[in-house]
Structure 1
Amino acid sequence: MDLEKQAKIYKALSEENRLRIIGILQTEKKCACEILDYLEISQSTLSHHMKILCECGLVECQKKEKWSYYNLSKDMTDEIIESLQSLFKKKERR
């Protein structure tokens, strides 16, 4: 993962409500209305946060009729874990 992509993801994760949303989606796919039940924000604010999380690839959206269902991207979460591990991996000093 390149640094620009990493920065976009870390920026998305730097907001408290987006971290809450990630936590909510850890267990299963949820409808936007279900996510709202956990947060004290408006529907338009949720839409803004979901747009950011989807644009950076952390969250995937599936639309069924008038409903939007969200889930974490397994591939992206694995990639983020790997990038964090490599970022903080001790390197040999010469």
Structure 2
Amino acid sequence: MWVVRLTDKQLDVLKALLRSEDRLGPALSRALESLELARWDELPDAELPWAEITEIAAGQGVSEADVVWDLCGRRARHRSADGKRSERRKMARPG
């Protein structure tokens, strides 16, 4: 794997060069896709609500990593009529 830092202009030129090819094979197609996604690598690190994660993990008897994994796959939280967040049922793990 190569790691390269490009200016915005260099990135645009490289993408234009790849797009100008008559036929992009699988490798160049993936390279172009990687260049399109490259900007996401420069986003600031995410900040997680660790106090809430720790509380949920302790309440469910699971690790914080399990809670983070669960939160990543969850859609928006549902709130009841009184405005409280509804608790999510603990899912049984396969196997």
Larger relative helix fraction: 1
Normalized against structure 1, the TM-score is what? 0.27
**Higher relative CO (CA 8 A, sep ≥ 6), structure 1 or 2?**
1
